[in-house]
């Protein structure tokens, strides 16, 4: 086969693989978002699309190099496919770097000794997946998220709960239980385009001598082992805003 023929095959392969990669990634994300596919299956579609995109990128780069003497204006489809493959493949390949240094846990609490309990929402049956024991979870949690602690406020319990509900609703959470007198709220938050669901429980109790309140919060992913730090960020951000109001 001539060099031109080989180059043409590479160009067609790069374009075709890029289209396949985009279809796998977009299809997995959209179908998982609307629960046509399980969430992790949809995420696997994204990962597979990223792998195919890297292969498309390789084909595209080789094709561009082999035809480097030609004007790029006449190879717009190949250039576009290569750029799309670079973006998709690079995004998927960077996910492990994002998770670097983040512990493989998905349950974050301001109280490690006595994490707030879910009552309206069920705690996942395999909540110790990835850590095996509660002691291992506590060690990993303390090492990575030692800054996460209860919120102490001058506001009474009922006021804190009302403020917490207002803040949760503003963030689009679905409220599952709310009792300001008992100082409890449970809600579900959605994460990313796929809408992974995380469950949150917030418990407030009177402070010393019955003054003010102490707020504890827990956020747990429904599926998966590592949460890429999402639950810790949620707890930090939520309590920070709650303290400011």
pLDDT in tens, 168-184: 999 999 999 999 999 99
Global pTM?
Answer: 0.86
Mean pLDDT across 139-167: 96
The confidence score (pLDDT) of residue 121 equals 98
Residue 21 has pLDDT above 80, yes or no: yes
Q: What Cα–Cα distance (Å) separates residue 226 from each residue in 43, 51, 114, 118, 217? A: 14, 21, 21, 20, 19
Give the integer Cα–Cα distance in Å for 19 and 41.
20
- Using alpha carbons only, give the angle 81, 86, 90 rounded to the nearest 5 degrees: 150
Return the minimum-mean-pLDDT range out of 5-19, 38-52, 150-164, 180-194.
5-19
Q: Does 99 have pLDDT greater than 80?
A: no
Mean per-residue pLDDT, 18-37: 96
Cα torsion 34, 35, 39, 41: sign: negative
How large a percentage of the chain has pLDDT more than 90?
82
Neighbours of 121 (CB within 10 A): 18
Is residue 146 exposed (0-12), middle (13-18) or buried (19+ Cβ within 10 Å)?
exposed
What span, in angstroms and rounded, lies between the C-alpha atoms of 116 and 108?
10
Q: How large is the average pLDDT for residues 193-209?
A: 94
Region class of 228: left (phi > 0), else alpha (psi between -120 and 50), else beta: left
H or E element in which residue 88 lies? helix 76-98
């Amino acid at each position: 086969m001539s060099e031109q023929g080989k180059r043409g095959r590479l160009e067609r392969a790069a374009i075709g693989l890029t289209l396949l990669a985009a279809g796998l990634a977009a299809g997995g994300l959209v179908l998982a978002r609307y629960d046509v596919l399980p969430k992790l299956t949809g995420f696997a579609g994204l990962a597979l699309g990223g792998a195919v995109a890297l292969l498309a990128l390789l084909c595209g780069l080789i094709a561009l190099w082999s035809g480097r003497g030609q004007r790029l204006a006449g190879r717009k489809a190949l250039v576009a496919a290569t750029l799309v493959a670079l973006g998709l493949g690079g995004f998927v390949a960077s996910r492990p770097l994002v998770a670097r240094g983040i512990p493989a846990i998905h349950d974050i609490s301001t109280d490690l000794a006595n994490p707030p309990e879910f009552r309206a929402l069920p705690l996942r049956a395999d909540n110790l997946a990835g850590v095996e024991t509660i002691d291992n979870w506590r060690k990993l949690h303390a090492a990575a998220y030692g800054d996460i602690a209860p919120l102490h406020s001058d506001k009474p319990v009922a006021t804190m709960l009302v403020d917490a509900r207002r803040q949760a609703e503003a963030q689009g959470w679905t409220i599952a239980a709310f009792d300001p007198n008992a100082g409890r709220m449970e809600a579900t938050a959605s994460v990313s385009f796929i809408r992974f669901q995380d469950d949150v429980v917030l418990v407030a109790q009177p402070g010393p001598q019955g003054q003010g309140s102490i707020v504890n919060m827990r956020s747990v992913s429904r599926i998966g082992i590592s949460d890429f730090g999402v639950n810790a960020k949620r707890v930090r951000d939520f309590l920070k805003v709650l303290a400011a109001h």
